[in-house]
Structure 1
């Protein structure tokens, strides 16, 4: 990755610009960061049914040719890392030389993502849930998180520590939507329940904006003046019957990384002990608990001891988490902003720099299917 860029981030429905214009802003910012002419781009990759057609973007940017376009299918924000992997695969296969991976959202233009109002028919998973009043993502995922907490004795304080860490880091990040709005233990505890065990501050925001990264081959990356982040490994998918729509999958209290995390570390040739900083998608904090356990950072029964604010903040924590504020406090670009922060950590330019920053893990979309993850590293580690 040689360039990262983003638009301004807004509360949902507050962007003055169209979704397409936001996408262009982020792409041009990434080009400027990389020091590359936009006309060198010849491929695009995205996820979560991004509405911005690559051919239209290519026309707007004046690209002389378009060679590769990929969209990660399913999983919503679980595709944020897979989109990067798909773009890298296009380059590795010789289908493109310079790929932009991006996500753009303008909910004032198209409506709030995941809304349930105005639904006239139900099918699939919703047919098993909506007749019983389970209408929204917090309700659906609360059941999985509660099962895990019950099975392993995980206390509410572990979820609270994740939220506090994200808000703590956001106070050092002027880009963050929650910059200047700190969160305390008391404020968290007194906030309203959304769906137990999720308080208000356990739930991700909804935002408008766009983010983008630029990929080239590892050989070509050495020709650019900026410090590149190298892809060590990537994985996507889910385990046996994870997507069973009646919510009767065998491993129900899971973030869906039971098979995906081993694939990631096998490809990268490293283990979780080599990871210095983590950017984990927070649809809800309970998913982060499960995802970190499934990546090997602690055993499920040790979650309460590991997940403390002191352990999760940079620079002093054992495992700095979501150092830009994450989905809870920086912005919710369906997790793609987490990839940008991982690049900043590798470069050493984060607002909350981790001391061990040569390997950064990004976790996409806990509790959905398919999920994905990504390991980025410095050139020294990647060689």
Structure 2
């Protein structure tokens, strides 16, 4: 089946605020700054925008508030998607649908959060989120994300034979990428001794297995592919988008906890985009925690089942490897903007604008959201350089 969405929409601009531990401004201000930066990259203005899409977990501002703050009185598309990193790719997929079907001409997608200075996820200085699954988690002490994802990581390690050193290679490789990225928060060299010496957070996760807490905003501009070709920056085509299910602690729907919901989503995504895993040149894989990188390499069919530890340890996810992964340093070293910074990095790579971390001849990128643990949902994109 051919997807009617394939190649009909493109990302025409990307924008960022600085990444920090204390932005000093509101999440609304972060959103506005990132959006304006992305529009400038595309050669557009606020007057061109008629769609606004974001995602969050009660830690930012609604799309309508952003639209009104920018002076857009009659937005054609307003969408607030509930979900953290799980739905990061879904925002771009929804924007692609909006412009491909004529509901809007220009849609901005963004994620803005003060995740260090204001709303620390899993923090114990406030009540648990008003999500149904938390009534089943909090009594067992499963409050913070490292506690939740430690169980998935341990299940994967038991099934695959992955070791702590294998997780360390993920963190070390991505830190090397971050050292070439002027936006990255963490650029201090990292070796295995330093990784192994880091304190435990929740076994098998050490400190350096965990993503950063970041104050930042990231935005992308989506319009039709034909229109994008007439704008300032080289467009990146949206080849395919998909959302899917996953694990949640109360559903009990999945029998194998070491395999994520991405394994179900991936075939549909590749069919929509008209590609196979072998066509992927770079992968920006959601890396809230190191085990998720190994799991997604397998669940998206990029390596054989239980082959990810050997693949990463052999250096194949480095910039010079067979499949560069998280070329910006990812959430572990660049910053944690709930997945949308992965989309922005893919755009930069596919344009050929990544400077010293540029992957030669990168034409197809896989961008993934959190693969479905805890939230029970996931999303992903295939992006392509415009040829």
TM-score by length of 1: 0.92
**Deviations 1:290-336 (CA, angstroms, capped at 9, x unpaired):** 1110111112222222112621111x111111111110111101111
Secondary structure at the aligned position of 1:165 is classed as helix
Deviation at 1:244, TM superposition (A): 4.9
- Tell me what 1:7 maps to: 17
Match of 1:92 in 2: 100
Unaligned runs of 5+ in 2: 1-10
Residue in 2 that maps onto 1:38: 46
1:21 aligns with 29
Q: CA deviation at 1:378?
A: 1.1
Match of 1:201 in 2: 208
- Does the CA contact (< 8 Å) of 1:20 and 1:104 recur in 2? yes
Which shows bigger deviation, 369-378 or 53-62?
Answer: 53-62
What residue in structure 1 maps to residue 65 of structure 2? 56
Q: Which residue of 2 aligns with 1:47?
A: 55
Q: How does 1:240-255 map to 2 (within 5 A)?
A: 242-245=247-250, 249-255=254-260
Q: For residue 159 of structure 2, give the secondary structure of its aligned residue in structure 1.
A: helix
What stretches of structure 1 of length at least 5 have no aligned partner? none
Identify if the C-alpha distance between structure 1 residues 166 and 61 changes in structure 2 by more than 3 Å, giving closer, same or farther. Answer: same
Partner of 2:303: 298
Deviation (angstroms), 1:20: 0.8
Change (3 A) 1:150 1:378: same
**Matched ranges for 1:239-278 at <5 A:** 242-245=247-250, 249-278=254-283
Instruction: Return closer, same or farther for 1:46/1:190 CA change in 2, 3 Å cut-off.
Output: same
The structural deviation recorded for 1:342 is: 0.3
CA distance in 2, matches of 1:211, 1:273: 29
Measure how far apart 1:284 and its partner are. Answer: 0.7
Is contact 1:40–1:63 with CA below 8 Å preserved after alignment?
A: no
- The DSSP-based 3-state class of the residue aligned with 1:10 is coil
Residue in structure 2 matched with residue 188 of structure 1 by the alignment = 195
SS at match of 2:180: coil
Identify the match of residue 368 of structure 2 among 356, 363, 366: 363
For the 8 Å contact 2:366–2:380, the answer to whether it is kept is yes
TM-score w.r.t. the length of structure 2 is: 0.91
Q: Deviations over 1:243-272 (max 9, x none)?
A: 351667312112221211111101001011
Give the corresponding residue for 2:90.
82
Q: Is the 8 A contact 1:233 1:375 kept in 2?
A: yes
Contact 2:52 2:107 survives alignment (8 Å): yes
Residue from 331, 334, 338 that aligns with 1:334 = 338
Matched, 1:151 2:155: no
Instruction: Please give the alpha-carbon distance, in whole angstroms, between the structure 1 residues aligned to 2:114 and 2:307.
Output: 40
Whole-angstrom CA distance in 1 between matches of 2:304 and 2:34: 39
Residue 169 of structure 2 corresponds to 161
Indicate whether 1:308 and 2:318 are aligned: no
Counterpart residue number, 1:343: 347
Asked whether 1:112 is paired with 2:116, we answer: no
Match of residue 134, structure 1, among 137, 142, 165: 142
